[in-house]
Amino acid sequence: MTAPSAPTPFATDRAPAGEAPTGHDGPARPLVAHPATTALAGTIAVPGDKSISHRALMFGALAVGETVVEGLLEGADVLATAAAMRALGARVERRAGRWHVNGVGVGGLAEPEDVLDMGNAGTAARLIAGLLATHPLTAFVTGDASLRKRPMGRVREPLERFGARFVLRHGDRLPAAIIGAENSVPVSYTLPVASAQVKSAVLLAGLNTPGETVVVEPKATRDHTETMLQAFGAEVRVEKAGKGRRIALTGQPELKPVAIAVPGDPSSAAFPAVAAAICRGSQVAIRRVGLNSLRTGLYDCLQEMGAHIEITDRRTEGGEPVGTIHVQGSRLKGIQVPPERVPAMIDEFPILAVAAACAEGETRITGAMELRVKESDRIGAMAAGLRAAGVAVKELPDGMIVTGTGRPPPGGATIATHLDHRIAMAFLVLGLASAAPVTIDDGAMIDTSFPGFAGLMRGLGARIEVA
């Protein structure tokens, strides 16, 4: 089967024809952000939610019948999931802007003929490992240079309890060989780290396992797997357990296809939102953004920092709250981020650190050790980049302290992005509010989660150009 080409709605900053579109195999694309001379203004929509998009394709591939997905994120990470679902036997097609997934039923995945290359996508790699673990097949999984550095032992450990076998490089890294269990047994697992990816991997392994699979999470993490599986007809019971949750899934359901409208990604909206907050006089509205409270910690922080943020048009779409986020240029002050808020903004720390660099006073981030194992070591990458741009920053083992002056940071640096889309976008936003331009060494990875980012920002009045 061949992959249909997947045009993106915003084509302005994609690789020129003939170059690899995914970033990780193609040439580096340095970009520069110039200090904003006029306020940012306009109403925009950001691409679809990455977490929901991965799950829509995976659950559609396990349903019996056709799942139709509107607003799927057509970024490289999700396209890697689409290709993997095809390789496992599902029919996945893009027609007239919608994605159609014809599933094979729980237990029906076929052994892939070739290595599954998940590119830069940690979520896809971990969740697919869960699916493979309880199908009687052998599969090989790899990823790009960033993904091959990220820990996989965290899913290997619970998934082997179902009866699967993993062979991982250095016991913890991709590439991996996964030999799925012939007769899997249900598992009860307490997460050692707050991770929606690990929770989801265990629940997905539980799908093709008879009996009840239980996951206990000490802190609540994004719950898209639970709510979407319920919508597909699975029996998933969620109870409070201390500060976290206990999730119980009854195995071997028949999943029924559903129509999915993917909301805008709050993690992508975070970049124009902070850009508006730190550029004087700005007025930006972002339509139809997902507002699941397990995802919106950044917006709570920005309000505590003094940002003028208003949310209108609140409604529920496909089981998820959505709304329009309005942000005005504001004078920000430093805050202490409550450590219990970390899971609800785990992907937003790079851009929060940029807001902190433009705020007056100290912003203290702690309890965020997980940032060290994201697409890059985000604590190290942000601290080094901010320092290069003239910002006072102290690196902590589990966070950082950023001290802003309330005036534009100096800027005037070239930042190493370490194959990390969010580091790339965060420093371009910093450049808009700095005294001198900020250059990033490679903007190609932005396409993994936010195709069209630079074009969309230019539409608001930002000067982001090829360096």
Question: Would you tell me which residues interact with ligand S3P (CB under 6 A)?
Answer: 51, 123, 195-197, 200, 222, 346-347, 370
CB 205 within 8 A of CB 184: yes
Q: How far is the CB of 151 from ligand S3P (least distance, A)?
A: 9
Q: Catalytic residue among 347, 420, 442, 447, which? A: 347
Alpha-carbon gap, residue 219 to 208, rounded angstroms? 26
Q: With respect to ligand S3P, which residue has the nearer C-beta, 270 or 433? A: 270
Q: How far is the CB of 350 from ligand S3P (least distance, A)?
A: 11
User: Which residue lies nearer to ligand S3P by CB, 139 or 342?
Assistant: 342
Cβ 191 to ligand S3P, closest distance in Å? 9
Q: Is 347 a catalytic residue?
A: yes
Which residue is closest to ligand S3P by CB?
51
In this complex, which beta carbon is closest to ligand S3P, that of residue 22 or of residue 197?
Answer: 197
- Tell me the Cα Rg of the chain: 21
Q: In angstroms, what is the minimal distance from the CB of 150 to ligand S3P?
A: 9
Known binding residues for 3-phosphoshikimate? 50-51, 55, 195, 197, 347, 374
List the structure tokens of 330: 């504001």
Residue whose CB is less far from ligand S3P, 21 or 151: 151
Minimum distance of ligand S3P from residue 414's CB (angstroms):
26
Strand order of the sheet with strand 173-179? 116-117, 138-142, 173-179, 165-169
Q: Which is nearer to ligand S3P, 197 or 268 (CB)?
A: 197
**Least distance between ligand S3P and beta carbon 139 (Å):** 20
Complex with ligand S3P: residue 276 or 346, whichever CB lies closer = 346
For ligand S3P, give the closer residue by CB, 202 or 454. 202
Binding site feature residues for phosphoenolpyruvate: 50, 122, 150, 197, 378, 422
Whole-number Å distance between alpha carbons of 262 and 294: 16
Closest distance to ligand S3P from the beta carbon of 32 (Å): 26
Closest CA to 404 of 449, 346, 377, 364: 364
Tell me how far apart the alpha carbons of residues 370 and 58 are, in angstroms, rounded to a whole number.
25
Active site residues: 347
